[in-house]
């Protein structure tokens, strides 16, 4: 079951999304306290929306996603803004970022991946939003996440981008809203069944 959390519900149980994040990303446990602080900060940003998916059989939370309205004063937004201005110019950067939702986190527990949960999280997170675009960063590798974003029309705005502080290379991606599933127009045998209710 997919449900939307209030900010209070989200902040009331950060252990759950952190555990899913750690599993999905093979995260070093030492970085989880910093991640918790970041989640707390993100929950105070405008237009914050958090979703979770619960497994019907076990009633355990197996996936989550959240995003918020991007604006100046947010570290990721300002950093990406400056990088994009250098890469694609001020006008195009403004087109992508002036009225955007940042898709900040989307993670599914490994045991529950490839069952359509990530797709539902992404489409629900971005649906009915007032923003014109959705933007995000993801590791610059051939990952399930990158394929998911491409499938929903995300364009690669900048590849091989290292965030300040010596991060591995990321790709910055953006899509106009509403998202469209590229597979929806294919014959049925090519499209994945959602797999969950």
Ligand X SMILES: CC(C)(COP(=O)(O)OP(=O)(O)OC[C@H]1O[C@@H](n2cnc3c(N)ncnc32)[C@H](O)[C@@H]1OP(=O)(O)O)[C@@H](O)C(=O)NCCC(=O)NCCS
- Catalytically active residues, by annotation: 149
Give the 3-state secondary structure of residue 100: strand
CB of 33: closest distance to ligand X in angstroms? 19
DSSP state of 113: -
Token pair belonging to 186: 């294919």
Token pair belonging to 154: 């995300």
Q: What angle do CA 38, 123, 90 make, to 5 degrees?
A: 65
Stretch that binds ligand X, among 7-15, 27-35, 44-52, 137-145 (CB under 6 A): 137-145
Asked, as a colleague might, if the bond just before 174 is cis with ω within 30 of 0, I would say no
Residues 64 and 26 sit within 8 Å (Cβ to Cβ):
no
Check residue 115 for interaction with ligand X (CB under 6 A): yes
CB of 121: closest distance to ligand X in angstroms? 7
CB of 147: closest distance to ligand X in angstroms? 4
Which of 16, 113, 123, 180 is close enough to bind ligand X by CB under 6 A?
113
Residues at the contact surface with ligand X, assessed by CB under 6 A: 24-25, 106-108, 113-119, 138, 143-145, 147-148, 192-193, 195
């Amino acid at each position: 079951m997919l449900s939307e959390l209030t900010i209070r519900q989200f902040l009331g149980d950060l252990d759950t999304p952190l555990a899913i994040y750690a599993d999905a990303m093979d995260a070093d446990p030492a970085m989880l306290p910093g991640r918790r602080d970041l989640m707390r900060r993100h929950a105070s940003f405008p237009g914050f929306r958090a979703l979770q998916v619960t497994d019907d059989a076990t009633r355990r939370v197996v996936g989550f996603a959240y995003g918020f309205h991007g604006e100046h004063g947010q570290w990721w937004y300002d950093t990406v803004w400056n990088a994009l201005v250098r890469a694609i110019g001020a006008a195009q950067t403004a087109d992508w970022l002036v009225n955007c939702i940042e898709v900040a986190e989307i993670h599914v527990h490994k045991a529950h991946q490839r069952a359509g949960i990530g797709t539902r999280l992404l489409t629900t997170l971005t649906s009915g939003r007032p923003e014109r675009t959705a933007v995000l960063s993801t590791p610059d590798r051939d990952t399930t996440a990158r394929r998911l974003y491409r499938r929903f029309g995300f364009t690669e705005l900048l590849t091989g981008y290292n965030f300040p502080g010596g991060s591995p290379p990321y790709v910055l991606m953006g899509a106009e809203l509403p998202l469209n599933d590229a597979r929806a127009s294919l014959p049925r045998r090519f499209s994945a069944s959602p797999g969950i209710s």
